[in-house]
Chain A
Amino acid sequence: MTRRRIPVSALIGLLFTGGFVFIALFAPWLAPHPNSVVVGDVWAPASAQHWLGTDNIGRDLLSRMIHGTRVTLTIAGLATALSFGVGSVLGFVAAVVGGWLDQLLSRGVDLLMAIPTLIFALVVLSVLPTTITVLVLVVGTLDATRVFRLSRALAADINVMDYVEAARLRGEKTPWIVFSEILPNALTPLVSELGLRFIFAVLFLSALSFIGLGVQPPDADWGNMVKENKEGIVFGIPAALIPAGAIAVLTISVNLMADWVLNRTTDLKGGRGA
């Protein structure tokens, strides 16, 4: 079987996303300076020694960007994994089992979704300590509500197919129906949603860090780097724009990949499309 060529837009997406992941994995070896050591003047311009210049207290901006990539991608990645693990399984179970369990889960999710996510996070994070674990849990739980909605809708569609009825008549238990009958058929839309949810996690984390409730100094992450350097913009210092730009580039490149995955839906073997 010959593979269809990967479109240029997806290649660009793959290249940039791959680059970010590479940087995150090898951050300590790639960064020329330590993360939180003052090495130069405040807001020094780009030079041979500091490729991107320095930040508001004189730390190397490139090094902080590299370390920040690691922190941002780790938290967003774990939060997305958590939201998909919890959201999709609960969504499938709600659709398959139905009845009071479905009501309980669905109304619970409605309750969570009724509260604006940022406000919800504000309340939780002002009580709990802001550690990476808590951040992952908060972002992951809030995202899980969206994944739950999607998975439940997908599973409700698949659940009425004759092959699921056939499995039920055979006497199969809920885990088999969820993981063997429903999951493989819901996978493609879920995978494309995965990309989008990951980006929302990055944006949400950045927003939290920007208002000071996310990653705490001196650790670097893209959101709090924008926050630390935002005053510089008034004086024409572009330091805040670099992490902001990184957020934008990651968002676009992951979306390009998600689009490609979605378009490939129909060519998967045994796929549902024509």
Chain B
Amino acid sequence: MSAAPTMVLEIRNLRIEVTVRPPGEKPRDILIVDDVSLTLQKGRVLGLIGESGAGKSTVGLSALGYGRGGVRITGGEVWLNGRDILQGGAKGLRALRGREVSYVAQSAAAAFNPSHRLMKQVVETALHHGVSNRQQAEQRAIALFRKLGLPDPKNFGQRFPHQVSGGQLQRAMTAMALCAQPDLIVFDEPTTALDVTTQIDVLAAIKDAIRDTGVAALYITHDLAVVAQVSDDIMVLRHGKMVELGETAQIIHAPRQEYTRALVSVRSIAHDEQPPTKQPLLSIRNVTARYAGRDVKVLDAVTCDLCTGQTLAIVGESGSGKSTLARVITGLLAPSQGDIVFNGKTLPARLAGRDKEDLRGLQMVYQMADVAMNPRHTVGKIIGRPLEFYFGLRGDEKKRRVQQLLDEIEMGSGYIDRYPAELSGGQKQRVCIARALAAKPRLIICDEVTSALDPLVADGILKLLLNLQKIEGVAYLYITHDLTTVRAIADSIAVMYQGRIVRYGPKSQVLTAPFDDYTDLLLSSVPEMELGWLESTISRRRMESAGH
């Protein structure tokens, strides 16, 4: 050990281009990373943060000398362990990938080969590079499994990828990356696809493993609260350029750039809880549902109410039955028991039995705006169809109303002839909201409408939804796994777990102690933008479980 810190990675003036072929135009080159420089010392973690398209994954992969999908590194230098890897050629890159630098991908489920046991895949790199023999590598893998908190570390490697959970698989992938004892690991959104309750364990495991092995790491994410827990320094990227680079504490507490300030202060929306009214708009009464051919109750005696002009948030992790509840309310899935009462009338269980007026009053906005709009219809047709269908509007009258709706969602009438492919992610979601509004509904079901969007864009959508609620008096059934959003917009909350509602009531009541076990776990798992949050939460849990 020398006194001077060892420099593991140094990127100088990196410049990365990609050739795009827009329809009907000449192919042209686009600069996706422009003049980015960074240094990383042994044992340090640098967080790369930015919106989608900011170039964070591209910068991360350049540390492996790799460009994804026709991306070319056209300028700059990438120095790893004292040599420029871009000059090494294909053979040089092969020798260092996996050995000196390794990669942990976002979707572990897609990154593991489903037909080999985990152990074989975890030790493969170490054997391939001749770091150790099979026995040593397997010993090391077992030690890593133990360190990462995987169950039964001795036999864990004998399982196939489908036999372990998503969170465990993500940790196994971290073990795979660490097995060949690399000097640098690139983590590319390793916890984004996980539920919050799982995310916290994986984060803690990754952080411990980084500290214990002394490896350097690049941690790529779009979630500032997550990156604040694991990294020493943070680099903020936007449109391929560096916005700000600094120590984590400085970025969180004293951001220098306007854009970073916006990122830090995101979710500043406040919405005062409304008291429940006497007559609910929507009553879900004792609803139980199963999918055809299976005996499992996806929904088990679910009961809750939603008042006119208010927001009921349905919260839970994936598989808790939130989206199934939406399918039952809309009539896509008939419940095996229970009723849906809407606007004082019991709705027929099946979609086919409902009349036009029932359908008009209850609209839906989807998670993926991309596939929620017909790619061959223009914005004008997408928003215009409900007007034509429910109100019989035609010609100029319809066009005027479409323009009015476009104004309401803060998009100009210039978009009327555009196709969905020509809109940005946030604009697409706005058009979907306009389509729902066009029917003048009493209730809009929002199924994870912001979870596919960048934080700043999502913020805009939430503000729009709240605004529209004030103007139009529409109620929202807001399905989400994101508790920060719930805090921001809900009037009442229902927490779902394994098809049941485990906690239900006005927001202030649901979010105040005493909690039931599951709600406590869920609430305490949401990363907060506060240094040391991860450690304090984990140690508090350990103390609690020791106390029991």
Residues of A within 8 A of B (CB): 1-4, 161-163, 165-166, 168-172, 180-181, 184-185, 266-272
Contact = CB atoms under 8 A, between A and B. Distances in A.
A174 to B, nearest CB: 11
B24 A267 contact: yes
Most chain A CB atoms below 10 A, which of B331, B375, B419, B435: B375
Contacts of B25: 1-2
Nearest to B420: A270
A168 B23 contact: no
Contacts of A169: 330-332, 351, 359, 363-364
B364 A166 contact: yes
Nearest to B369: A162
A181 B377 CA distance: 9
B455 to A, nearest CB: 23
Chain B interface extent, by class: 20 to 34
A192 B289 CA distance: 44
B291 interface: no
Most chain A CB atoms below 10 A, which of B23, B25, B360, B419: B23
Given A163-B374, A271-B421, A272-B375, 18 more contacts: A4-B24, A161-B371, A162-B368, A162-B371, A163-B371, A163-B372, A166-B366, A169-B359, A170-B359, A170-B385, A171-B356, A171-B360, A181-B374, A184-B377, A185-B376, A266-B23, A269-B419, A270-B419
Most chain A CB atoms below 10 A, which of B354, B385, B419, B435: B385
Nearest to B370: A162
Interface in B359-412: 359-360, 363-364, 366, 368, 371-377, 385-386, 389-390
Most chain A CB atoms below 10 A, which of B24, B368, B376, B435: B376
Contacts of B354: 171
A171 B359 contact: yes
B340 interface: no
B429 to A, nearest CB: 12
B439 interface: yes
Contacts of A266: 23
Contacts of B26: 2
B435 A166 contact: yes
A162 B366 contact: yes
A32 to B, nearest CB: 46
Contacts of B377: 180, 184, 270
A172 B23 contact: no
Nearest to B418: A270
Most chain B CB atoms below 10 A, which of A3, A166, A180, A269: A166
A269 B23 contact: yes
Nearest to B372: A162
A163 B373 contact: yes
A271 B366 contact: no
A169 B331 CA distance: 8
Contacts of B371: 161-163
Nearest to B375: A270
A125 B25 CA distance: 53
Contact of B24 (A2, A170, A171): A2
Contacts of B376: 184-185, 270
B24 A168 contact: no
A170 to B, nearest CB: 6
A241 B179 CA distance: 70
B256 to A, nearest CB: 37
Contacts of B366: 162, 166
Nearest to B389: A170
A271 B375 contact: yes
A106 B359 CA distance: 32
